[in-house]
A and B are shown apart, each in its own frame.
Chain A
C-alpha cells in the first residue's frame, strides 16, 4: 500500500513538474512576443503545444505571433484550431476576421446555420442534447411516478426540442471531427490536376486561402476551394485544421 501511494505521488509530482515546464514555455512565448521577437514566440508556443499545453490560449497566441511574422495562413490555421475550444471568444473572432481580411486568399462566409453551430463547441452541443434527452425522460418518469398524464402538446414540443438538439449535436460533431479543412500556408501555390509535380496547374491559391480537404496521398492533399474548384496541392503547403 505504501509503495502504491508512493508511486501515485511520484507520478503526480512528475505531472505537476511537466505542467510547470509547459506553463514556463508558454510564459516564455508571451515574453518573447512582448519583446517583439515574434518568430521566437511562435516557436515557443509551438513547443508548448507539442509538449502538452494544447490550449486555446496557446493556439490564439500562436496565431498572433504568426500574423506578426507575416504568415497569414498559419495564423488563420491557429485561430481556427483555437475556435474549436473557445468559439465564443470575441477576441479570437475579431482576430480571425481581421487576418482573413488581410489575407489575399478566399475564405468562407459562414451562413446563419453555420454561425449558429459555432455558438457552442461540439462537446457543448452534445452535452445540451444529452441534458435535453435526460429532461425529457425525467418528465416522463415523474409523470409515471405520480401516476399523472402529462400534456401531450408539451411532450411533443419537448421531444421536438430533443430531436433538434440531437440533430444539431450530430451536425456539429460531423463538422468538427469528420470533415477536414485546411489553410494554404505558402505565399502562392499551384493547385494541380493530379498529385504529380509534372501535372498541369489547374488554378492558383494564395496564403490564407481556406479549402476543404477531400482526399490524400502521402505527399498531396486533394483540395476544393470556395469556388468549388478541385485539385491537388502539396501537403507542405497546406495546414490541416483539426481540434
Chain B
C-alpha cells in the first residue's frame, strides 16, 4: 500500500506509462495521477522485474477548482519479456484505491520495438568469443549508441565475474546509421582475462548518460534541465576451460596467447662457476603479466638463479608487447660447449593447441675455474681480524627505544608554517631596502617623512612643555615645528618661513581661512611671549591643542600647484 497523506474524499487515482514497449536499457515513465485530493508524494513499493531510477517528478494543476497531481517515476526493466507493473494500492482518507495493472513489453537490445522507433540511446556488448580458455585475454567492447546526451563516466562492470578487468582504453566516437536513424557511437574497450574455469558471465554493463529532462520546464537562466539515465546492457554468458592437461609440453608454464622468443647470452667465455647473463625476450599477444620462465630440462648442467623481468613496449594493460627475463646461469662443467636451446611453450587459444618455440643454442667457451682445485688461500692478518659471519640474531633490546612516528612532519601544519619564517624575514628585509631606495630617489618624500616624525615628536614636546609650564621652550618648539611643517608643504627652506608666508603663499595656494587664522594666532602668540613672557600652564595647553589641530590640518592639506 502506498503511503499517502489524505486530503479529501471522492478522489480518483490512475496509473499510466509513457509507452507500451521499450528496449532493455531504456526506462519507462510511470505516472500516478491523483484527482480531487491533495496528497504527499507516494513512496513506490518494490516492483518485480523493475528498478526505480533516481528521477521523479511532481506536477500540480488546478482546473475549475479541482486539484490534479501527477507523480512520475522512471522504471528500468531488469529483463526482457512481457512485464507487468502490478496494481498499486493507495490510501486516500482511509479509503483504499487501487490502480490498474499495466503490461510493458520489453525487447532485447537492438530488437525493433513494436510501434516505436529505436530508442534514442542504447548500449550493446560485443565480445569476439564466448568459449574461452583460462588465462586467455579478450577485448570487450561496450558500444553506446546515443542521439543526444553526453557521457562523463566509464561503463560499470561487476567485479566478481570470474574475469580480471583491465584498464579502460580511451573511447572512440563515430557517427553511424541504425535503421535509418543517425547515432553517435561511442565505443569503450577493455581487456578481460578469464581467471576461473566454468560458466562465467560478462556484464551486465551499466552506462550512465546525461540527457535533457523533458519532463521539467526549461529554466530561464540555466536552460534545459538535465538528468542522469542509466543505460543497461544484458550480461553475456561465457564458458572458460583450462588448457587441456594432456599433451601439455614440459616447458609449458601457463602462457596463453601467441608468442615468439629470442635469447642472448653474455659473456660467452667464462670460467666454471662464473655467471652468464641470459636475456630471454618473449614477444606477442596475451597476458604478459602472467608469463613466467618455464623449467628448462636441458639446462641441467647450469645452475639457474631467479630471473628478473620487465615488460617493454606494451599497452597500458600489458596484453601485447615484449617481456624480457634476465637470468643468471652458472656453468658447472668445463665440458659445456653451448647454452642449450631455450624452449617456451604456450597454448594458442585460436588453434586450440600447444605451441613450443625454441631459440638456437648459444656457443660458449668454458674454461676451468682458477680456484677450482686449488687450496683455499690462507687468511691474511687483516682477514683474520674480519668479523665472522653471524650465527644468530642480535639480542633483544632492554629499553623500549624511540616511539614510532606515524604522522610525518611534512603533514604537520606547524612544520609547514615554520618553512615560511626565514623566507618571510628575507622578504621583509628586501622590502625594507626597496623602501629606503625609493626614499633616497625622492627627496620630497623623504622630507615629508622626516617632517611627519618631527611634528609627531614636536606635538608631544609641546604638551609636555605646557604641562610643566615652560613657556620659553614651548614657544621655541612651536615656532620651529610650524616652520618645518609649512616649509615642507611649500617646498621652501624652513628658516625662510615667517608669519607673512601665511598670507603671501598659503592662502593663495588654497589653505582654508580657519587654518590661516589659527596660524596667525599661533605666530602672534609666539611674538607676544617674547615681550610678555608670563603665561599660565592652562594657556599653554590651549595653545598646544590649537597647534596640534592646525598642524594636522596642514598635513592633510595639499598645495595646489
Binding site for B on A (CB under 8 A): 23, 26, 30, 33, 48, 53-61, 64-65, 67, 81, 84-86, 91-92, 94-95, 98-99, 106, 121-123, 126-127, 130, 133-134, 136-138, 140-141, 144-145, 147, 169, 173, 176-177, 192-194, 196, 198-200, 202-203, 217, 226-231, 243
Contact A85 B289 (CB under 8 A): no
Q: How distant is the Cα of A24 from the Cα of B405 in the complex, in angstroms?
A: 22
Contact A144 B401 (CB under 8 A): no
Q: Which 9 A-B pairs have the closest CB atoms?
A: A57-B401, A194-B195, A137-B422, A91-B394, A144-B429, A57-B397, A56-B401, A55-B400, A199-B195
Of A145, A228, A230, which is in contact with the most chain B CB atoms at under 10 Å from its CB? A228
Minimum CB distance partner of A55 in chain B: B400
Residues of A within 8 A of B415 (CB): 126, 130
Residues of B within 8 A of A91 (CB): 394-395, 397
Q: How distant is the Cα of A133 from the Cα of B410 in the complex, in angstroms?
A: 14
Chosen A-B contacts, 17 in total, with CB atoms closer than 8 Å, are: A56-B397, A58-B400, A59-B404, A84-B404, A85-B404, A91-B395, A95-B394, A98-B392, A123-B405, A137-B422, A137-B425, A138-B422, A193-B195, A194-B162, A194-B196, A217-B159, A230-B289
Contact A126 B393 (CB under 8 A): no
Minimum CB distance partner of B396 in chain A: A61
Interface-facing stretch out of B117-125, B305-313, B474-482, B520-528:
B305-313
In whole Å, how far is B167's beta carbon from the nearest beta carbon of chain A?
12
In whole Å, how far is A196's beta carbon from the nearest beta carbon of chain B?
6
Contact B292 A229 (CB under 8 A): yes
Q: A56-B404, A137-B425, A227-B307 are in contact. Are A200 and B397 (CB under 8 A)?
A: no
Q: A86-B401, A141-B429, A194-B163 are in contact. Are A243 and B406 (CB under 8 A)?
A: yes
Minimum CB distance partner of A193 in chain B: B195
A57-B400, A61-B396, A98-B390 known; 14 new pairs, CB 8 Å cut-off, are A26-B400, A55-B403, A64-B396, A91-B395, A126-B410, A130-B419, A144-B429, A169-B410, A193-B164, A198-B162, A199-B196, A200-B254, A228-B310, A231-B290
Contact B306 A106 (CB under 8 A): yes
Q: How distant is the Cα of A173 from the Cα of B410 in the complex, in angstroms?
A: 8
Across the interface, A60 reaches (CB within 8 A) one of B162, B397, B408, namely B397
Main secondary structure on A side of the interface with B: helix
B384 within 8 A of A: no
Across the interface, B196 reaches (CB within 8 A) one of A30, A60, A140, A200, namely A200
B152 within 8 A of A: no
Q: A98-B390, A169-B410, A203-B292 are in contact. Are A140 and B426 (CB under 8 A)?
A: yes
B421 within 8 A of A: yes
Q: A55-B401, A196-B196, A198-B162 are in contact. Are A145 and B429 (CB under 8 A)?
A: yes
Residues of B within 8 A of A198 (CB): 162, 195-198
Query: Hey, what's the 0/1 contact readout for B174-206 against A, CB within 8 Å counting as 1?
Result: 000000000000000000010111100000000
In whole Å, how far is A108's beta carbon from the nearest beta carbon of chain B?
12
In whole Å, how far is A199's beta carbon from the nearest beta carbon of chain B?
4
Across the interface, B422 reaches (CB within 8 A) one of A95, A133, A227, A243, namely A133
Q: How distant is the Cα of A67 from the Cα of B159 in the complex, in angstroms?
A: 38
Across the interface, A53 reaches (CB within 8 A) one of B400, B423, B429, namely B400
Contact A30 B401 (CB under 8 A): no
In whole Å, how far is B168's beta carbon from the nearest beta carbon of chain A?
16
Residues of A within 8 A of B430 (CB): 144
Minimum CB distance partner of B404 in chain A: A54
Q: How distant is the Cα of A144 from the Cα of B432 in the complex, in angstroms?
A: 9
Residues of B within 8 A of A177 (CB): 408
Contact A243 B195 (CB under 8 A): no
Minimum CB distance partner of B421 in chain A: A134
B402 within 8 A of A: yes
Residues of A within 8 A of B306 (CB): 106, 226-227
Minimum CB distance partner of A102 in chain B: B393
In whole Å, how far is A163's beta carbon from the nearest beta carbon of chain B?
14
Residues of A within 8 A of B406 (CB): 54, 243
Q: How distant is the Cα of A67 from the Cα of B401 in the complex, in angstroms?
A: 20
Residues of A within 8 A of B18 (CB): none
Of A30, A67, A134, A137, which is in contact with the most chain B CB atoms at under 10 Å from its CB? A137
